[in-house]
Amino acid sequence: MTIGEKIKYFRKQRGITQGELAELTGIHPVSIRKYETNKMQPLPPQVEKIAAALNVNFSAIYGMDQSAFRLETRGDLMGLLMTSYKAGLIQVDGPKDRYGAFKEEQCCIRLTPVLSQYFAVAGQEDENRNMLPALKVTDSSVLSDFIRWEGLYREGYLKDQELLKKGNSSEDEKYVADDFREMLEQIELDLQASQKKLDKTCDHSDDADSETE
């Protein structure tokens, strides 16, 4: 989905017109129309206003740089670690020498407190009975949403692979595949749109009861 299509989707989800969105954001109605039809790209400040008016996250509309999440080379790994560190997702921990530098042989990388409230590191055996570290999700609502998305994503991927192998797919098969992708895209948008704060002091056991949005 383009930025314009996302704006249109969330606007319709909220049940407001382009004119009403323009009033809420202070952006000219013509600009809103051009954004939604991809005739003009909104700049980050405009996206911030639109996201706030539609009660969604900035990233749900603007998207995220997918290249930051590639993991094919050592360079990709370093890029991911640096991006995660700058975003406050991980931190380096361990003893330091007299010059204030970490002692490499004794230091480790940890999740920062805001994420450690949601994940715990646990051991898990692979097929060769080797113990591998695994992240255990401690927030059941996050785990449930992610597993639901992962299952649908995998199902869609397998369907696409089947269509590619067949070569000549019927119009009905293509329609079903397109319809499935659209549904998955909407689920992804809705999951990304959540404005619930990651509060390290929150009690996750009450999440399901307290979230009424």
Q: What is the pLDDT of residue 66?
A: 52
Does residue 55 sit in the same domain as residue 79? Answer: no
Q: What is the pLDDT of residue 64?
A: 64
Contact 138, 204 (CB under 8 A): yes
Q: What is the pLDDT of residue 12?
A: 95
Question: Does residue 58 belong to any structural domain of this protein?
Answer: yes
Q: Report the 10 Å Cβ neighbour count for 39.
A: 11
Share of the chain above pLDDT 70, in %: 84
Question: Does residue 89 belong to any structural domain of this protein?
Answer: yes
Q: Which of 211, 187, 189 is nearest to 199 (CA)?
A: 211
* Largest separation between any pair of C-alpha atoms in the chain: 70
Name the domain boundary from 42, 62, 82. Answer: 62
Does residue 196 sit in the same domain as residue 146? Answer: yes
d(CA 24, CA 141): 32
On average, the pLDDT of the chain sits at 79
Does residue 86 sit in the same domain as residue 50? Answer: no
Does residue 176 sit in the same domain as residue 155? Answer: yes
pLDDT tens across 28-59, in order? 999 999 999 999 999 889 999 999 999 988 88
How many domains does the chain fold into?
Answer: 3
* pTM check: above 0.75: no
pLDDT tens across 149-161, in order? 888 887 887 877 7
CATH number for position 45: 1.10.260.40
Q: Which of 147, 141, 156, 149 is nearest to 187 (CA)?
A: 149
Does residue 10 sit in the same domain as residue 58? Answer: yes
Domain extent, residue 49, equals 3-62
Question: Does residue 213 belong to any structural domain of this protein?
Answer: no
Q: Which of 133, 105, 108, 104 is nearest to 121 (CA)?
A: 133
CA angle 157, 179, 151 (to 5 degrees): 35
Question: Does residue 124 belong to any structural domain of this protein?
Answer: no
pLDDT tens across 66-112, in order? 555 566 777 777 777 777 887 788 887 788 888 877 777 777 778 88
